[in-house]
Amino acid sequence: MDYSTIIQHNIGSLSYFVPELILTGVILVLIIADLLLKNERSAWTSFIALAGLIVAFVAVLAQYNMGTRSIFSDMLVVDPFSFFFKVLFLAASVFAIFLSIGSVELSGRPVGEYFTLIVAMTLGMFLMASATNLLTIFISIEMVSVVSFILATYLKTRRRSSEAGLKYTIYGAFSSGLMLYGISLIYGLTGTFNIHEIARIFNSTSPEPLTLFLGVLLMLAGFGYKISAVPFHFWAPDVYEGAPTPITALLSVGPKAAGFALLIRFFNVALVNTSTNGDTSMWFALADLNWPKLLAIISAATMTLGNLVAIMQNNVKRLLAYSSIAHAGYALMGVVTLTELGVSATLFYLSVYYLMNVGAFLVVIINQDLLRSESINDYRGLVWRAPLPAIAMGVFLFSLTGLPPTGGFVGKFYLFSALIQRGESFHYYLAVVGIINSVISLYYYARILKAMYFEAPESKASSKIAVSPYYVVLLVLLAIPTLVLGVYWQWLIDFLMHNSNSFLKIL
């Protein structure tokens, strides 16, 4: 392809890059608005950010029936798979802004750059969902990571926030270095950064096994860092505790889902056996190494460590941080199957996890704003003092545990179904580990429920709490879908199966 043809192709790609261009424009507008507005009026930038995200959402919806389009010389792709994640990222960012508007933690602070960074993170997550080249994969991860470092330490006058940002930066730099080294090894083996070309070369040649194993393992460090999978999870508890709670809620669903988007695309494209007419029922064989078994081990270790350490936590934000690690392990169960049902189950679980986890953090924000506490002990008697947040928290915790009739139960049901239908012995073992961990998680979630419903508050804190109608609306918007998806979920599964089927057909 000559130079002029490449230029024409890239210019033509702009028509498929409209949502990202809108977000870029919103970022520029926010920077200018922040310069023009006085500090006490910087909160007005939240409305600009919300308006921009809504416009970007409309642009994403316009791409629903577009099919699959490779853009910018195969650096990015617009397809049904990325469409799902872009909608999820926009929803996560919009709710993060809503949570930030009412947050006492941010009250009185200049927040123009804060909302600018949220939109910048959304743009980075868009690129992560669409990346099909090892360079764009790395650059998009770095874009999201750097913005996350800044947002995590936004409350810079608080010691634990500064500590969280420092730890996040150190772990992020370390994982980025490992991933970049892995990318260099894979490029050395194949001579290309395009994951489709990498798959073709792996299926037509016999790469040096040890080098390929090391390269993919180092890349897995980068993916594991974004989804906080063991052993790349160490940053999560301190960052979740020290960051502003709205940012904690965003980090727990947005970048985590983006990490899953990259992990699924890389493993399901670059490392599958496509020699049998596109049959994706087999992974690319590397000597005696079975990649699904490796991911299954990581999945089991992630959910087990997350749940066991969560038992010992008394701070609700740290408890939910370890819970988030465990849920990354649950979501990985669908990835190891390498089937349409498995991918769909992971996407469904990420959708439900967004609702129930953001909802749980919203209750934490309410309690934090009204009681200035994140301790489980201060949740005692919450049902008598603030009935609606306590009831909503019960719904979210039941869903996080995986109990009916909630969306979390349906999500885990499909994950376990995908494992059992795959039929290999290690899938059964992983399903058993998942069930045991779900039982373990019931214990520490029940601690919060017990405090809210069955323990009396201290006499000095027994008065009723007036919850803002603003928070009441947000709670309802999150709790109702969590329950609805527990009884009426087929429409979402059908949509995700369509997306997964379209994604797997291009392999």
Q: What is the pLDDT of residue 279?
A: 47
How sure is the predictor about 245, in pLDDT bands with cuts at 50, 70 and 90?
confident
Mean pLDDT, residues 311-318 taken together: 88
How sure is the predictor about 287, in pLDDT bands with cuts at 50, 70 and 90?
very low
CA gap 49, 53 in Å, rounded: 6
Q: What is the pLDDT of residue 162?
A: 81
State the distance between the two ends of the chain, measured CA to CA, in whole angstroms.
Answer: 23
The answer to whether residue 505 scores a pLDDT higher than 70 is: no
| Rg of the Cα atoms in the chain | 22
The answer to whether residue 309 scores a pLDDT higher than 50 is: yes
pLDDT tens for each residue of 41-92: 667 888 899 999 999 999 999 988 887 888 888 889 998 888 999 999 999 9
Mean pLDDT, residues 470-498 taken together: 88
Where is average pLDDT lowest: 303-312, 330-339, 393-402?
330-339
The answer to whether residue 456 scores a pLDDT higher than 80 is: no
Q: What is the pLDDT of residue 307?
A: 93
How sure is the predictor about 305, in pLDDT bands with cuts at 50, 70 and 90?
very high
* Strand 69-71, strand 76-78: pairing: antiparallel
How sure is the predictor about 276, in pLDDT bands with cuts at 50, 70 and 90?
very low
Q: Which residues partner with 71 through β-bridges? A: 76
Where is average pLDDT lowest: 122-126, 184-188, 234-238, 501-505?
501-505
How sure is the predictor about 169, in pLDDT bands with cuts at 50, 70 and 90?
confident
| Average pLDDT over all residues of the chain | 85
3-class secondary-structure state, position 193: coil
The answer to whether residue 323 scores a pLDDT higher than 70 is: yes
Q: Residue-wise over 135-166: b if at least 16 C-beta within 10 A, else e?
A: ebbbbbbbbbbbbbbbbbbbbeeeeebebbbb
Q: What is the pLDDT of residue 168?
A: 86
The answer to whether residue 284 scores a pLDDT higher than 50 is: no
Mean pLDDT, residues 482-494 taken together: 89
How sure is the predictor about 143, in pLDDT bands with cuts at 50, 70 and 90?
very high
Q: Are 336 and 430 in contact (CB under 8 A)?
A: yes
Predicted structure pTM score: 0.91
pLDDT tens for each residue of 346-401: 999 999 999 999 999 999 888 887 777 778 888 888 888 888 888 999 999 999 99
Q: What is the pLDDT of residue 350?
A: 93
Instruction: Pick the most confident of 2-11, 230-239, 435-444.
Output: 435-444
Greater confidence (173 vs 500) lies with 173
pLDDT tens for each residue of 111-127: 888 899 999 999 999 99
3-class secondary-structure state, position 70: strand
Q: What is the pLDDT of residue 1?
A: 56
Dihedral angle over CA of 53, 56, 62, 67, nearest 10:
-110
CA gap 414, 412 in Å, rounded: 5
Where is average pLDDT lowest: 256-270, 275-289, 442-456?
275-289
The answer to whether residue 335 scores a pLDDT higher than 60 is: yes
Where is average pLDDT lowest: 5-14, 261-270, 272-281?
272-281
The answer to whether residue 465 scores a pLDDT higher than 80 is: no
How sure is the predictor about 502, in pLDDT bands with cuts at 50, 70 and 90?
low
How sure is the predictor about 39, in pLDDT bands with cuts at 50, 70 and 90?
low
Q: Residue-wise over 22-34: b if at least 16 C-beta within 10 A, else e?
A: bbeebbebbeebb
Mean pLDDT, residues 423-447 taken together: 89
Q: What are phi and psi of 207, to 5 degrees?
A: -65, 155
